[in-house]
Structure 1
Amino acid sequence: MIDYNSIPVTMVKGVSAAKQQELHAFGISTVADLLLYFPYRYEDFHVRRLDEVKDGEKITIEGRIVSTPVVQRFGKKSKVTVRIMVEEWLVSATWFNRPYMREQLTQGRDVVVTGKWDQRRLQITVATSEFADRGAMRKDTLQPVYSVRGKITQNWMRKTIAQAMLQFSETISEVLPAELMRRYRLMPRKQAIAALHNPQDAQAGKQARRRMVYEELLLFQLKLHAFRALNRERADGVAHEASNTQVKEFVRSLPFELTDGQKGAVTDILADMRSPYCMNRLLQGDVGSGKTVVSAIALYASVCSGYQGALMVPTEILAEQHMRSLMKLFEPHGIQIALLTGSVTGRKRKDVLAGLQMGAIDILVGTHALIQEDVFFKRLGLVVTDEQHRFGVNQRSILRRKGMNPDVLLMTATPIPRTLAITAFGDMDVTSIKDRPAGRKPIKTYWVKHEMLERVLGFIRREVDQGRQAYMICPLIEESDKLDVQNAIDVHVQMQQAFPNLSVGLLHGRMSAAEKDEAMRAFSSGSTHLLVSTTVIEVGVDVPNSTLMIIMDAERFGLSQLHQLRGRVGRGEHQSYCVLIADPKSEVGKERMRIMTETEDGFELSQRDLELRGPGDFFGTKQSGLPEFKLADMASDFAVLEQAREDAAELIGMENFWTTAEYRPLHDMLKQEQLFQGELLD
């Protein structure tokens, strides 16, 4: 049988070379691509009784025309109105800007119309209409709605996919083993694809979707488990040999007690580091959960084993902060630590590079300057990346290639829901720190409307008078014609006028790196009382004296981002506050504000954020590694994802998975993914 993956889409009747080019923009090159281009929703053309319909609903009704059409004109616009007898009701039907309908709407003719229902007037505003005497009709069907643009129309896409099914449905072969099909009572693949494009009813559509979602998630999980299985076979990583005694001695030297979460994370990480396989672990924890200390223990273990460590962070100011923190911890133990950022130049930079290459530097802390071509390590054993989602996949992999398969520890303060951790980081082990250091006071969070700004300004004055500092976050840099939201430059001017005796700083993404660093240093040193900023502050420095976070137009941010911003305060001994200034118009916006005032748990917030926004917007970056699925949805299909994950692990662990004919279709699909090239997932 011909595989539909290899049949060019031009073999479908009606697809010209020009249409082929247009389809290419949709990612459609083959018949398989076309048949797996599923609709994102359906239009329901089932005829309904009027006593079952609510006001404002989109409905389809069937009746007989009982009046002559009336045409009204308003300049270039027009409307045609006619009376239709529907069951025992006399309904008024109106077509806007289609004067040609007058000729077709003849008395006594049977018609099916779809449109918006006005219960009070017994009136329907018609979107589409069909006549019984013209043959085939859409009534009593679910019509697929595809994502289309340009010259590809909805009707053309429907006809072309129907034609492809007619010509090539026999080339669709089953890929799932019979045992899984029986276990979950799944619809056959050919039937499921046909039903997704043309469901007979809602139930058939649901069953078809369930089948294809499971297939999609199983294949993805098989890919991840195959990667892990193949990489586990390659014991060519760094086997660190730091003893428990050495690590315990270092932990005892810390000026505080580790939390249970930190202890658990250290146990997981050290077990990975001591094995001959490459560690690939994600350490996630809420703001202030103590991830840096855990990474410091891992770096110490690497140095004790005779290797070097690297810590890469997204900003210079954060690199300097980590440098100071680690120096306090490591200096008593004689460990040499150096800083490499864009600001380290000339002789100083040459000395760092030379010391690194000779092995005189044990740990290098820096920004993406660490991945420049002239940076060479003598014996790199551990790579730690902080706020890993701020770096692209390529940047992270370049740093890893500076050593011979060093262990990799990625850290994030954006707690990731388990659903996304399984997908975006499915090739990694995930460790979560869920507790917080003792003595941290909860941040009090308030939601106020814009008209209360004067009271908020009074709050700023009181905090500054007590020797504290405040942030004010705005969603934009400059004024926008399209968005009626606060912008940092205007707000900065307003705050300077409101507080003429205070030092008001400004920070935004269009400033140069030197200007940003200067603004942050002024705030860190306490010389700036109020810092007006965009979200560039989200991953910033630790300023224990800042106790007030004000977020303008807070409804424009996602929950996770709001939580990250809130985490910039509450780092010292004084009570801290977060004030959300928002007038949300949508229910989602109001719900965000309510959730923020109710909980400080970043893991709970991240799950709620996923439910409100969906997975596509969660990371806000294409380099997050989040896969794009055709059908599966990370929020609603979590149970299927979990099951697919278990099934994939079971299959990959079975010897006959790689040899038996029943599993060959799945095995072949993994081969198509080029899984066997020896490359690590990043």
Structure 2
Amino acid sequence: MMISLDQISVKQIKGVSAPKEQELHAFGVQSVADLLDYFPYRYEDYRIRNLADAKDGEKVTVLGYIRGVPLLQRYGKGKSRLTCKIEIDGWLVTAVWFNRHYLQEQLTVGREVMLTGKWEQHRLQLTVSDSEFQGGSSESSGTGAGGKSAKSGTLQPVYSVGGSITQPWMRKTIRQALTQYETMIEEVLPHELVQRHQLMARREAVRHIHLPEDAKEGQAARRRLVYEELFLFQLKLQAYRALNRKRSDGLALRVESEWIRQFAATLPFELTDAQKKVVNEILMDMRRPSSMNRLLQGDVGSGKTVVAAMALYGAVRAGHQGALMVPTEILADQHMRSLQKLFGGMGIEVGLLTGSLTERKRRDVLAGLQMGIIDIAVGTHALIQGDVFFRSLGLVVTDEQHRFGVNQRSVLRRKGMNPDVLTMTATPIPRTLAITAFGDMDVSTLRERPHGRKPIKTYWVKHDMMDRVLEFIRKEVDQGRQAYIICPLIEESEKLDVQNAIDLHIQMQQAFPQYKVALLHGRLSAADKEAVMGAFGANETQVLVATTVVEVGVDVPNSTLMVIMDAERFGLSQLHQLRGRVGRGEHQSHCILVADPKSETGRERMKVMTDTDDGFEVARRDLELRGPGDFFGTKQSGLPEFRLADMVADYEMLEEARDDAGELTGQDDFWTNPSYARLRALLQKDQIFQGEQLD
């Protein structure tokens, strides 16, 4: 059997000593394959430029002739400034070197020199960072045959380096690795995909990404390697999905369509077409013997809760239990009340399990779950404690899933025998992100507004217009409506000059002595939070000053005004979530953003919020502004870290890679044909065949 590059130690490369080998290990580079896949993150442009085309302040590489005697000035301790007149493209330019007095001897009149540095056009001065002299002398390492430096007139790769691993050493070592092992680089993509997308061969792409002749060649190499990276990632997810659908170790829940129709008939409103479609998708999954793994994403107020309730109802009618895990106790309590109302008179028992239950109540709930007396458990992280057991858990629903870590979700799943899993989020996820982070899931989307819901009108005002904002609040409350006022901090901070909830609460009490003004923040006890929200829900309180504890799920249809103080302090998705707390009743709702953003990003956020109230468009713009890593927290979401690919810039290729991987794994030929053996070996290496859920 032929040895592969991932089996050859990096120490076999000429010039890699034992200490250097250890330093490379710290970078995750163990083998020759690892080193060749250690791609540059940008290039330094050492191609010769004409000064007439260069911009002031730009870094340039130019060719010139020494026309003056060098002048050396020494100052400070060991510091020096070396200047010399150089003729470049018909201009007489002053070249300046700092702390390189040793070059003085080489600056002889008439000699040709190649210089790289910062061009200051108004002073006709070049501050030099690199020099190469005719006859082979160079101040940087890496001089090649014929006396020319390895970087002369080229694009040079820039790698992530540190310690004693320098850029010149890394460049030289990767060149050496290519010299020794380039012929052993094997193709990993199927021939038909290379042809379909007109990609470079892998061997050619690896060489050209490290040593591009020009920008076009480097871009073509990157395109090939980005596609490969995305395809191999998607292949794992699509192979898992294909195998999971063939498995029969889940629960095939016998949910009758008639039950669901009867339940829908009891609702005080008509389901939207989108809700009907999504319910059908979920029920089809629940009836299969393989366990469901579906993401339900919908804009704020799109009616996800009733869809989840119908799925839970189906699971209970089929003889099993359901669990609904949410991130906060306020939301858990609200969901429990909503479900009790929806299931009123149907004989379905809903239990609440949160950290603030008394020991006695907790024991009663645990016993009820274990004996099957409680049909549906609604709770926070308390649901995944070691002493929580279900009689027969058939369906797990997690709401606002990105607030739970990967391990927390999988622990809840293991409370049953491969139960169906429905994951919900009110943070609409751009398709690009959904098919990356949730590539192993089926995705259902609610984009339609429930009947009768009006779009929320959004305004951006500066702090000096606060009097008008207070007048607007007064007008709404006088008509019997209610208002939220949100601010970023609980108490005053010396570090941040932003509104804080405690001070703002006092100010609002003074501004509206005729109204009840309440305060809600995360440091209140669970009982106090419940009391505050209960009073607001019953319209005993007209104005609620709060932190972002109300961001998710709080539902008070009579509240029609959301005022967000220091709105530039919040991310786009968070602003949209907060806005979604209003607009839930029959009356026109408004959102007022009070902000004086100093940054361009802050101003852009305000513009996006006033331009659209479509959560999917907001999410797309948020992804562009923030990047995927921050979209909902890389650590929590399990987002992959790609070597080359960028989920925003490369979204078209990501979709192509996903479609290609899905098409390939859906064919019986993929699992048996020898030409796909290498891809199957990669899947085997990643334990795709072990049957573990991909979280």
After TM superposition, list the pairs within 5 Å mapping 1:236-385 onto structure 2: 236-385=249-398
Aligned partners of 2:303 and 2:450 also within 8 Å: yes
Change (3 A) 1:71 1:537: farther
2:413 equivalent in structure 1: 400
115, 118, 126: which one aligns with 1:116: 118
Q: 327-336 or 490-499: which moved more?
A: 490-499
Q: Name which of 445, 449, 453 aligns with 2:458.
A: 445
Which one is further off, 222-231 or 71-80?
A: 71-80
1:126 aligns to what? 128
Counterpart contact for 1:472–1:530, Cα < 8 Å: no
Verify the 8 A CA contact 1:235 1:276 in the aligned structure 2.
yes
Q: What corresponds to 2:498 in structure 1?
A: 486
**CA–CA distance in 2 between the matches of 1:9 and 1:510?**
54
Assess, with a 3 A threshold, how the Cα gap between structure 1 residues 495 and 304 changes in structure 2: closer, same or farther: same
Q: Is the Cα–Cα contact under 8 Å of residues 281 and 429 in structure 1 kept in the other structure?
A: yes
Residues 170, 268 of structure 1: CA spacing in aligned structure 2 closer, same or farther, 3 A cutoff? same
SS of alignment partner, residue 409 of structure 1: strand
* CA-to-aligned-CA distance 1:56-100 (integer Å, 9 cap, x gap): 332222212222344567756764433221111122333345555
* Corresponding residue of 2:169: 156
Matches within 5 A, 1:600-639: 600-639=613-652
SS in 2 for 1:120: helix
Distance 1:358 1:180 in 2: 54
Letter in 2 for 1:219: L
Name the CA shift for 1:46/1:376 in 2 (closer, same or farther; >3 Å).
same
- Distance, in Å, in 2 between the alignment partners of 1:557 and 1:143 is 40
CA contact (8 A) 2:487 2:501 kept: no
Greater displacement, 262-271 / 7-16: 7-16
Cα distance change on mapping 1:8 and 1:453 into 2, 3 Å? farther
Structure 1 window deviating more from structure 2 (251-260 vs 191-200): it is 191-200
The answer for the alignment partner of 1:651 in structure 2 is 664
Partner deviation per Cα, 1:437-465 (whole Å, 9 max, x = no partner): 12222222222334445544554555556
CA distance in 1, matches of 2:264, 2:204: 60
Return the alpha-carbon distance in structure 1 between the equivalents of residues 18 and 477 of structure 2: 68
**1:471 matches 2:471:** no
- Of 412, 418, 426, the residue aligned with 2:431 is 418
Tell whether the 8 Å contact from 2:7 to 2:31 is kept in structure 1 after alignment: yes
Residue 30 of structure 1 corresponds to which residue in structure 2? 31
CA contact (8 A) 2:489 2:501 kept: no
Report how far residue 102 of structure 1 moved.
4.6
Flag structure 1 segments of 5+ consecutive residues without an equivalent: none
Aligned equivalent of 1:94:
96
Contact 1:477 1:534 in 2 (8 A): no
Equivalent residue of 2:343, what SS? helix
Q: Give the secondary structure class of the aligned counterpart of 1:333.
A: coil
C-alpha displacement of 1:352: 1.2
Do the aligned partners of 1:469 and 1:526 also contact (CA within 8 Å) in 2? no
Amino acid at match of 1:448: V
Identical columns (%) = 64
Structure 2 counterpart of 1:83: 85
In structure 2, distance between residues paired with 1:363 and 1:174:
52
Deviates more, 1:286-295 or 1:580-589: 580-589
Check conservation: 1:10, 1:20, Cα contact below 8 A: yes
> What per-residue deviation string (whole Å, max 9, x for no partner) do you get for residues 340-395 of structure 1?
11112222111111111111111111111111111111111111111011111111
Which residue of structure 2 aligns with residue 182 of structure 1? 195
Matched residue of 1:272: which SS? Answer: helix
2:210 matched to 1:210? no
CA 1:554–1:469 in structure 2 vs 1: closer, same or farther (change >3 Å)? closer
Aligned to 1:40: 41
**Offset of 1:519 from its aligned partner?**
6.1
1:10 aligns with 2:15: no
Identify the match of residue 191 of structure 1 among 181, 204, 224. 204
Q: Which moved more, 1:416-425 or 1:448-457?
A: 448-457
What's the C-alpha RMSD, in Å, of the aligned pairs?
2.8
Secondary structure of the structure 2 residue equivalent to 1:249: helix
- Which stretch shifts more, 402-411 or 447-456? 447-456
How far, CA to CA, are the matches of 1:115 and 1:463 in structure 2?
Answer: 63
Q: Which moved more, 1:528-537 or 1:62-71?
A: 528-537
Q: What is the distance in 2 between the residues matched to 1:248 and 1:111?
A: 83
Q: Is the 8 A contact 2:505 2:518 kept in 1?
A: no
- 2:683 matches 1:673: no
Could you tell me whether the CA contact under 8 Å between 1:475 and 1:556 is conserved in 2? Answer: no
Residue 486 (structure 1) shift = 2.2
CA distance in 1, matches of 2:525, 2:70: 67
Separation in structure 1 between the aligned mates of residue 678 and residue 521 of structure 2, nearest angstrom: 52
Question: Which stretch of structure 1 is more off in the superposition, 199-208 or 611-620?
Answer: 611-620
Whether contact under 8 Å (2:322, 2:375) holds in the other structure is yes
Closer, same or farther: CA 577–139 of 1 in aligned 2, 3 Å: farther
Distance 1:100 1:500, change over 3 A: farther
Write the deviation string for residues 614-642 of structure 1: whole angstroms up to 9, x where unpaired.
Answer: 22222224121222111112122222222
1:234 to 247, 251, 258: 247
> Which has the larger displacement, 664-673 or 91-100?
91-100
Indicate conservation of the 8 Å contact 1:370/1:399, yes or no: yes
CA 1:656–1:348: 2 relative to 1, 3 Å: same
Following the alignment from structure 1 to structure 2, what is the Cα–Cα distance between the partners of residues 563 and 16?
Answer: 55
Question: Which whole-Å deviations, capped at 9, do the CAs of 1:241-292 have from their partners, x for residues lacking one?
Answer: 2222211111010011111111111111111112222111100000000000
The 8 Å contact of residues 509 and 517 in structure 2, kept in 1 or not, is answered as no
Deviation at 1:574, TM superposition (A): 3.9
Deviates more, 1:163-172 or 1:286-295: 163-172
Partner of 2:131: helix, strand, or coil? Answer: strand
Secondary structure of 1:238 counterpart: coil
| Contact 2:62-2:115 within 8 A present in 1 as well | yes
Distance 1:505 1:61, change over 3 A: farther
CA deviations on 1:214-245 (whole Å, 9 max, x unpaired) are 11111112111211121112112212222222
Secondary structure at 2:122 match in 1: coil
Q: Is the 8 A contact 1:60 1:139 kept in 2?
A: no
* 1:667/1:369 CA distance change after superposition, 3 Å: same
Deviation at 1:524, TM superposition (A): 4.9
After superposition, the Cα gap between the structure-2 partners of 1:88 and 1:451, relative to the gap in structure 1 and judged at 3 Å, is farther
Q: Give distance in 2, aligned partners of 1:458 and 1:216.
A: 56
| Counterpart Cα distance in 2 of 1:191 and 1:222 | 23
Quote the residue 2:144 is aligned against.
Answer: none
Q: Over residues 23-82 of structure 1, what are the superposed CA-to-partner deviations in whole Å (9 max), with x where a residue is unaligned?
A: 344332322222212111111111111222233332222212222344567756764433
Determine the C-alpha separation between the residues in 1 that align with 2:168 and 2:516: 62
Aligned to 2:141: none
SS of aligned partner of 2:391: coil
Contact 2:158 2:167 in 1 (8 A): yes
Using the alignment, how far apart are the partners of 2:72 and 2:544 within structure 1?
Answer: 63
Query: Structure 1 residue 139 and structure 2 residue 140: aligned?
Result: no
Q: How much has 1:546 moved relative to structure 2? A: 3.7
